[in-house]
Structure 1
Amino acid sequence: MRVLFLVPYPTGQAPSQRFRFEQYLDSLQSHGHTYRLAPFLNEATWRILYKPGQAKRKALGILAGFGRRLAVLLAAPAYDYVFIHREAAPLGPPIAEWLLAKVLRKRIVYDFDDAIWLANTSEANRIAAGLKWHHKVDSICHWAYKNSCGNAYLAAYARQFNSSVVINPTTIDTVHLHNQVRNQLAPGPLVIGWTGTHSTLKYLVPLVPVLAQLEAEGLDFEFHVISNQPPEFSQPLRCLRFIPWQKATEIPDLLTFHVGLMPLEDDKWAQGKCAFKALQYMALGIPALVSPVGMNTEVVTDGHNGYICREPAEWHQRLRQLLTDGLHRQQLGQAARITIEQRYSVIANTPNFLALFS
């Protein structure tokens, strides 16, 4: 069996690609299958895409991506399956998907891990937002041989257009990557942590007063923010430490955390989230404190492997409790690791992923 992967980003760069299918490629090969990865963006364009300015270089990079898509369509007849992650092209109607499904009659596995049919516009993508053609998701779901959805909310959406839907959760490689467990009782500064891209920094804003209150109460801790851009909070925090995200130090940086945060707003976009931050923390034996939104409540069992916090008072209570009780952090962290190994690891989900191509 030969599989063509049409993906937005260069290999090994974007979390959605790394943790949804790239970590299964060895398993695909070990089962006798071959594959080709065909990114829309090259590395040069990816490096500047979310930075201000350089509009000409970005436009040329996008145009070059369309050229690569044309070339790969010409090669598509040689493949048995076409795996499309999110979309074949970031702008415009689903022409490539239509050609693959209706003209070339290819079996499309359509994979998405966000509510990408919604216009989630930020300042960084404001100009391109009008060209995104979000409603194409409906058509691609309808044309797909199988839809691979990150959670039940996304799967329910896809089923409106196609009954062939598989819940394929975002998973963690507990053998080769997240293969260490935080010792919650080791000496060193206590750390509350968060990791994510610039577009999700906004979810931290309601927690800034909570962290400031903990500071005012005399608790000694650091607040680590790992991202591609530093946060800009209106209220200063002495505890704040910004750590630029780097793939090479991703795991050591996360292992500085004693507690991991995943706050969300309760809106349709957030309901499509696949609890990825919580999964990363928990895989490393770090208790996750999460908002009761979407898949968060499936992953975190309140009081067993983390806590679900609804109001600022609950965030404050649980953070204070975990900062002052190392044994409790250790117990939650151990339970969190077991949860990932049993339900959200690459090992546990490999049969489910391989079944997409059958």
Structure 2
Amino acid sequence: MVDTDAYVPTPRTNQGPLTIGWIGSPSTWPNVRPLLPLLQRMCDRHGVRVRAVGAGAEAERDRFDGLDLVTWSEASEISDVQAMDIGIMPLLDLPFQRGKSGYKLIQYMACGLPVVASPVGVNSEIVDPANGLLATSEVEWEAALERLIADPALRSSMGAAGRGRAVDAYSLASQAPRLVELFQAIAGRANLADGA
């Protein structure tokens, strides 16, 4: 769940290079590493930037021209996502990754970004053809990124669809009634167990 009153789209000014973005932590950066040669080619071919938020000091050895390594902070997290044009979530298909929540996809979508993700775990449920693209192989990742880089209207429509899905299905406001219902059910069972 995300606070979709805080994670909001910002106007795309079309000033400066298009930005492919990723947000995560040093422990999840290894999921991105297999795509780095492709991302470097995208930078070289199209003049795009890659913005990696939270990759940590280890990522310094992965740096290439076009890769911006940004230190994560709670204060700037939302604006860091809003500075992106396309959000990516590559995952290795391993047991730990299959259990991930897809939170970064929801952050991207809440900010109105189109997404490209590996179809691993819950990612396949979050991403649909209206809001993003799923990619397994490097060839699929390249095709997905090329398609979004070349088509501003597609980026815009997928971003809008993603925003709608984030608000309807993954926002604090949409989940609050379910949480209240859950807590009431738990409290009711506790009262029954106590003989109340």
Number of equivalent positions: 184
Given candidates 10, 34, 58, the residue that maps to 1:206 is 34
How far off is 1:236 after superposition?
Answer: 4.6
| TM-score w.r.t. length of structure 2 | 0.88
Q: Could you tell me which amino acid in structure 2 is paired with residue 355 of structure 1?
A: E
How far off is 1:188 after superposition?
Answer: 2.5
1:239 is the counterpart of 2:69: no
CA contact 2:89–2:104 (8 Å) conserved in 1: yes
| TM-score w.r.t. length of structure 1 | 0.49
Query: Aligned residues: percent identity?
Result: 32
How far off is 1:237 after superposition?
Answer: 1.8
1:320 is the counterpart of 2:150: no
- Measured at CA, do residues 220 and 293 of structure 1 come closer, stay the same or move farther in structure 2, by a change above 3 Å? same
Q: Could you tell me which amino acid in structure 2 is paired with residue 173 of structure 1?
A: D
Please show how residues 228-267 of structure 1 align to structure 2 within 5 Å.
229-232=56-59, 236-267=63-94
Q: Could you tell me which amino acid in structure 2 is paired with residue 292 of structure 1?
A: P
1:291 is the counterpart of 2:121: no
Ranges in structure 2 where 5+ consecutive residues have no aligned partner: 185-196
Given candidates 183, 186, 189, the residue that maps to 1:357 is 183
How far off is 1:288 after superposition?
Answer: 1.2
Given candidates 159, 171, 175, the residue that maps to 1:345 is 171
How far off is 1:185 after superposition?
Answer: 5.5
Write the distance in 2 (CA, Å) between the matches of 1:230 and 1:287: 28
Larger C-alpha radius of gyration, 1 or 2? Answer: 1
Write the distance in 1 (CA, Å) between the matches of 2:64 and 2:85: 18
| 1:195-225 CA-partner distances (Å, limit 9, x unpaired) | 0111101000111011122234x21111111
How far off is 1:186 after superposition?
Answer: 3.4
Task: Indicate the RMSD between aligned Cα atoms, in angstroms.
Answer: 1.6
Write the distance in 2 (CA, Å) between the matches of 1:338 and 1:256: 19
| 1:140-188 CA-partner distances (Å, limit 9, x unpaired) | xxxxxxxxxxxxxxxxxxxxxxxxxxxxxxx11112x21x214345323
| 1:213-262 CA-partner distances (Å, limit 9, x unpaired) | 2234x211111111061343766521111111111111111111000110
Q: Which residue of 1 aligns with 2:189?
A: none
Write the distance in 2 (CA, Å) between the matches of 1:312 and 1:189: 23
